Structure formats: C-alpha cells, structure tokens
Amino acid sequence: MNIPKVEGLIMELLAEIGEDPKREGLLNTPARIAAALDFLTSGYRQDVEGLIHGACFSQETSSMIIVRDIEVYSLCEHHMLPFFGRCHIGYIPRGTIFGISKLARLVDMYARRLQIQERLTEQIAYAVHDSIRADGVGVMIEARHLCMMMRGVEKQNSMMVTSSLLGVFRSNPSTRQEFLSLIGRPGTQAG
C-alpha cells in the first residue's frame, strides 16, 4: 500500500466532508488512518500456504477438533464499516492436524480484507478443508455489523450468523449435531 498516497486521499476526504485537515486535532489523522488501513487490510498480503507452512503435523486421529470463540474483526466491503464477533471452527482430520494458533491466524488473514461475512465463512472452511484434506469442516461466525447498527436500519441488537459445513459435517447429521453442541449452539434439523 502506498502510505503517502493514502494519506493525501484522506486529507482530500476530510476537506470534502467539510473539515479542515490542517486543524490541530486532524493534523495526524491521515497518517493514523493510513496505518490503520494498512493493518486492517494486511490479509491481502498473505496466503494460506505461507501462513500454515510448517505448522501442520502428522497425527492419527478421527476425533473432532474444535477451536471456538475466535475473535473476528473485519471491514464490510459495502460501507467499509467494521463487523465483529466470534468464529467457531471444527474439523475431523485425516492424518494431519493444524498447530492450534494457525486456525486463529487463518481467520485473521481472511478477516483483514474487505469482506462480507458469508464469503469470510466459506473462505475459512475451504482453507481448513483443502490444506489438510480433512474429512469434514464446520465453521460458524456470529457477528454484529456497524453498517446495520449505526446507519440504515439502525438495529443495534441484530447479529448475523453464517455457517459453512463441508464433508461429513454436511453429510452426517450426528457429526453436525456434535459440532453445534460442542460450540454451545442448539442443533437444528437440516433438510
């Protein structure tokens, strides 16, 4: 990202909304926003292979592995306003497991891009599935969207829930139910 160019664009934006970008309180705002955007979009400069390199391990197990309540912070691609919540990931390995922190890092990598929650959920699920050829993967994200809370319909208590189920998480109702139970969510009948 060209930081000086972004700083100049922020100065122009401040002037366009009626502010004086040279007033004391705003003098460093363009630099702060550019640095924040650089961090909040750092996922564009990462890839799955580089992220998990060396952090997958051989382990013969057919047990479900779950990491739940991974914090998610992202920017909505429609308004560039934050959405935030929790991500729960479960998978059944086929001889290879992840180092536990890599699942949280996968969430961050995809969340640090302009996103919609539906795509974010799918990207995480497919990255887990494809990286270790898991027998099944379940990902659920529960998030609050500031674009819905502070503008538009202004519904402060709304929460969006998305899920992606692959392999046996989709085909086997008892596996799906076990995942939902272990992440602390009641099961539903799926058709």
Question: For this structure, is 156 an active site residue?
Answer: no
Question: For this structure, is 59 an active site residue?
Answer: no
Catalytic residue among 117, 123, 142, 178: 117
Question: For this structure, is 129 an active site residue?
Answer: no
Distance in angstroms (rounded) separating the CA atoms of residues 48 and 144: 26
Question: For this structure, is 53 an active site residue?
Answer: no
Residue type, 163: S
Return the structure tokens found at 189. Answer: 């009948």
Catalytic residue among 53, 59, 71, 77: 77
Catalytic residue among 19, 46, 56, 147: 147
Question: For this structure, is 147 an active site residue?
Answer: yes
Catalytic residue among 12, 53, 78, 118: 78
Query: Cβ contacts of residue 25 below 8 Å, gap of 6+?
Result: none
Catalytic residue among 87, 88, 123, 145: 145
Question: For this structure, is 56 an active site residue?
Answer: no
Q: Which residue has the tokens 């709304």?
A: 158
Question: For this structure, is 145 an active site residue?
Answer: yes
Catalytic residue among 7, 76, 87, 88: 76
Catalytic residue among 19, 46, 56, 79: 79
Q: CA–CA distance from 61 to each of 94, 101, 135 (Å)?
A: 7, 19, 11
Task: Please give the positions annotated as active site.
Answer: 76-79, 117, 145, 147
